[in-house]
Structure 1
Amino acid sequence: MFAFKEEFPVGDVASLATADIAIPFYQPIVDRNHQLIGFEALARRWEPRQQRYQGIDFLSLSDEESLHLDIVMLRAILRDLPTLAQSSTSLLSINLNPTLNSPTYQNLLLLVLIQARKVGLDIWFEVLEHAPLQHKELALIEVLRSHGAHIVCDDFGTQECNFQRVLALPYEIIKLDRSLLLQATKSSHALRMLTGLVEYLQRLGTKVVCEGVETQQHIEVANLLGCDYQQGYAHAMPSPLSRWA
């Protein structure tokens, strides 16, 4: 069983710190047997006051700031791909903001796909739950799919990400929002409903990821739900590449 719960030490983090620059932290994704099968790349930025890396609230950023951080992240991921491919994993999941109308950003997305294929990694692109899905965004997503990307619905079950959003685009993987797991731990009715939803999605050929698995109870409920994959602090904290190399 894969398990790695150690937090990234502050002393090690400080040696990597660069002001106002995001770096990718990688959080493992595990299968039904809790074996490592891949990572999600998560943007982290050094916060001097807290003396640690923290997540970034992308919704609070301007389009220009978001674009800058996404480009920085993709370039860092490109450098990390060969090392990730040597860590007994088969996939890497990356957040996708299809609203960013930048040739540099879009070319980097394709370059990541091409380079990942060369080193034997599948790429999942997670469509952010707040991103609009109009003609332009859907066209970019289909270009990425045609080049071998797997398209993921992120945070299904939030207000922004409901069945209307799932109907708008065929997804190969759906990530259940953490709030659904929390409800299933508290209510037998919610557990039955969510189990039925997982079974229905799987009958359609969709893989399901249970996110926010943070305790042993969460692991047990995620097992009962029958999700294909699990992700969360109970399995491993997000950490820099050096932790997994």
Structure 2
Amino acid sequence: MNLQRLISYFENWGGQQGGAAPRLVFGDEGAYGRYGALLLTSRYQPLLDREQKVVAYEALLRVQDPAGRYIAPDQLFARLDEDREVVVLDRLSRVLHAVNYVGQPNEGKRLFLNVNGRHLLGISSGKHGTTFESLLEHCGLKPSQVVLEILESGIDDLRHLQQAILAYKDKGFRIAIDDFGCRHSNFDRLWALEPDIVKLDRNLTLQAMHNQRAAKVLPALVRLIQDLGAQVVCEGIETAEQHQLVMDSGSDMVQGYYYGRPAVHLLQQVAEPA
């Protein structure tokens, strides 16, 4: 791991003049980020396969102000006026997660990293992933070990999104579409984007728990996505009943508080559900 190159990248970022200075910092407990007065830290939540084995982790950002109050990451990004600030903060978050991930026994499991939609739209060169691939190499990870998670329903420019996904895939990253089923998600966009993984919006599971029609639709939705060549993740699972429902629906992977809450340290095993 080339820590100095990582630190230097953010120290030398040209956009810090007139804006909050992004910094990658290393301490006794691992890496953390500074963005102005805000503290950025990593949390990890496991993804499990149908045999209840941990197969990957999603990295989640935690943001605290000087008073120790937590700020939702989407609220922080919404505050930023300039796309270049979004780009560097998004990169800082992903590098932070990658560094802390490599510093723990991860047994080569894939790492899911969220990419902000404004980041994708803020890069007009068509060279999405070029800078991050270099940063990732300094972290000790390869693109093939990373799944980039995108909330496609928040991006109206489908052509730009297609170009970004193709550029990422060409570098070896896998692509996951997050929260499919919310807002204006539709299958036309899935056909156009050809993701490797589709994460279903948790509300689809909640509806299926209380609505017989929704319960019948869920397995058909899972099969249709699988027929498109993508794996399905049902996320937001919190109870044994929800677990059984999504297992019966044929989901390839699951995620949620039922299996493990986001934590600083990687959860290697989970107790088999009752």
The answer to whether residue 249 in structure 2 is matched with residue 225 in structure 1 is yes
Match of 1:57 among 70, 74, 82: 74
Q: CA deviation at 1:80?
A: 2.4
Partner of residue 72 from structure 1, selected from 89, 92, 99: 92
CA displacement at 1:66 relative to structure 2: 2.9
Larger RCO: Structure 1 or Structure 2 (Cα < 8 Å, ≥ 6 residues apart)?
1
Q: Which is further off, 174-183 or 151-160?
A: 151-160
Contact 1:145 1:151 in 2 (8 A): yes
1:28 maps to 46
Shift of the alpha carbon at 1:133?
3.8
Residues 165 and 193 in structure 2, CA contact (< 8 A), matched pair in contact too = no
Match in the other structure for 1:37: 55
- Which range is displaced more, 96-105 or 33-42? 96-105
Q: Could you tell me how far apart the structure 2 residues matched to 1:189 and 1:244 are?
A: 36
Q: What code does the residue aligned with 2:123 have?
A: N
2:151 to 121, 128, 139: 128
Q: Any conservation in 2 of the 1:210–1:222 contact (CA below 8 Å)?
A: yes
Give the gaps of 5 or more residues in structure 2. 1-28, 269-274
Sort the Cα spacing of 1:17 and 1:72 in 2 relative to 1 into closer, same or farther, 3 A: closer
CA contact (8 A) 1:75 1:108 kept: no
Q: What CA distance in whole angstroms lies between the structure 2 residues aligned with 1:113 and 1:133?
A: 27
Could you say if the C-alpha distance between residues 204 and 138 of structure 1 is closer, same or farther in structure 2, counting changes exceeding 3 Å? closer
Aligned partners of 2:88 and 2:145: how far apart in 1?
Answer: 25
The AA in structure 1 aligned to 2:238 is: E
Q: Which of these two proteins has the greater Rg computed from alpha carbons?
A: 2
TM score, norm. by length of structure 2: 0.72
SS of 2:168's equivalent in the other structure is helix
Provide TM-score, normalisation by structure 1: 0.79
* 1:117 counterpart (138, 142, 149): 142
Q: Once the two structures are aligned, what percentage of the paired residues are identical?
A: 29
Residue in 2 that maps onto 1:94: 113
Q: Which runs of 5+ in 1 are unaligned?
A: 1-12
Aligned ranges for residues 97-176 of structure 1 at < 5 Å?
97=117, 98-101=120-123, 106-111=129-134, 114=137, 115-117=140-142, 122-129=145-152, 130-176=154-200
CA contact (8 A) 1:67 1:105 kept: no
> What is the DSSP-based 3-state SS (H/G/I as helix, E as strand, rest coil) of the residue aligned with 1:41?
strand
Please state whether the residue corresponding to 2:103 is helix, strand or coil.
helix
Shift of 1:57: 2.0
Structure 1 position 74, deviation (Å) = 2.2
Residue 17 of structure 1, CA deviation? 9.3
In the alignment, which of 199, 204, 212 is matched to residue 223 of structure 2?
199
Q: CA deviation at 1:34?
A: 1.4
Label 1:112 to 1:128 Cα distance change in 2 as closer, same or farther (>3 A): farther
Query: Partners in 1 of 2:266 and 2:191 — Cα distance?
Result: 39
**Quick one: structure 1 residues 204 and 105, their matched pair in 2 at CA, closer, same or farther if it must change by over 3 Å?**
closer
Write the mapping of 1:178-189 to structure 2, written as runs, cut at 5 A. Answer: 178-189=202-213
CA contact (8 A) 1:74 1:112 kept: no
What root-mean-square deviation, in Å, do the aligned CA atoms of Structure 1 and Structure 2 show?
A: 2.9
CA contact (8 A) 1:81 1:116 kept: no
Does the aligned pair in 1 maintain the 2:106–2:266 contact within 8 Å?
A: no
Q: Which residue of 1 is the match for residue 4 of structure 2? A: none
Amino acid at match of 1:117: K
